Amino acid sequence: MDAITDNLDLFVSGYWTSLKICLIALVGSLVLGTIIAACRVSPVAPLRWIGATWVNMIRNAPLTVLLFFFAFGLPEIGVLGSYWVFGVSALIIYTSAFVCEALRAGINSVSSGQAEAARAIGLPFGATLREVILPQAFRTSIPPLGSVLIAMFKNSAVLGAFGVGGDLFSVSDTLTSARGYAATPVLLGVAVGYLLITLPAGALLALLERKTAILR
């Protein structure tokens, strides 16, 4: 356990870095995923194609391939940036496809009469979606969205392996490779760190689900 107690500050700073990555990616993927979902249900056919293509391409590519592309492919074609920005962007883009589909399940669960009533009072498509469909869809989507977001929190560990320094997972690399600590206690510490992100997140989602339940 010395591995953890001796390096507590490293673990704590790794935890905060990972939490920061997770929160930025959470907001980013929710926003982007909602936009893609809006495209997929839009009355404009080209937008629907763009949405479907996005989901099918991103969802079916492994996250590591996407990260490789961002980290090494983009600089080759002249797009420069830090690993940090590339890593978080890749995570957001990857997760957006799953957020989109979880949301679309929620959108499909809202009865068509709700949209018809909104259109009947003269709300255009965007306002119908914002005012009537999405608020109800979000609530229904919370359980699958929760799974998607928790998977994303864990996927953020892959960023550490890609040289986005200082996050929780790269702490294990630093301690085992560079400083020679035994792997097991270090990895246990890292695992506990991730649990400290995902378990409260799960509890928050459960609370959110209870608070926003709607009578039908």
Partner 1 sequence: MGEELVRSDNEPGRPLVVLDGVDKHFGSLHVLKDINLTVHAGEVVVVIGPSGSGKSTLCRVINRLETIDSGSITLDGQELPKEGRDLARLRADVGMVFQSFNLFAHKTILENITLGPTRVRKVDAKRARQEAMALLERVGVAAQAEKYPAQLSGGQQQRVAIARALAMNPKVMLFDEPTSALDPEMINEVLDVMTGLARDGMTMVVVTHEMGFARRAANRVVFMADGEIVEENAPEHFFTNPQSHRAQDFLSKILTN
Question: How many whole angstroms from its chain centre is CA 89?
Answer: 10
Q: Between residues 80 and 215, which has the closer beta carbon with respect to partner 1? A: 215
Tokens of 206: 């459960």
Token couple for 195 = 């649990």
Nearer to partner 1, 1 or 214 (CB): 214
Residue 139 Cβ vs partner 1, minimum distance, rounded to whole Å: 8
Taking the least distance from each CB to partner 1, the nearer of 78 and 124 is 124
Could you tell me the smallest distance in angstroms from the CB atom of residue 147 to partner 1? 23
Q: Shortest approach of partner 1 to residue 200 CB, angstroms?
A: 27
The number of beta carbons lying within 10 Å of the beta carbon of residue 181 is 19
Binding site for partner 1 (CB under 8 A): 43, 111, 113-114, 116-124, 127, 131-132, 135-136, 139, 214-216
The pair of structure tokens assigned to 188 is: 């246990």
In angstroms, the CA 184 to CA 182 distance is 6
Nearer to partner 1, 87 or 106 (CB): 106
How distant is the alpha carbon of residue 18 from its chain centre?
13
Q: How far apart are CA 51 and CA 94, in angstroms?
A: 14
Nearest approach, Cβ of 41 to partner 1 (angstroms)? Answer: 14
Measured from the CB atom, the residue of 109 and 147 that comes closer to partner 1 is 109
Q: What is the nearest approach in angstroms of partner 1 to the Cβ of residue 191?
A: 39
Give the C-alpha separation, 69 to 86, whole Å: 9
Angle of the 8-40 helix axis to the 83-109 helix axis, nearest 10? 50
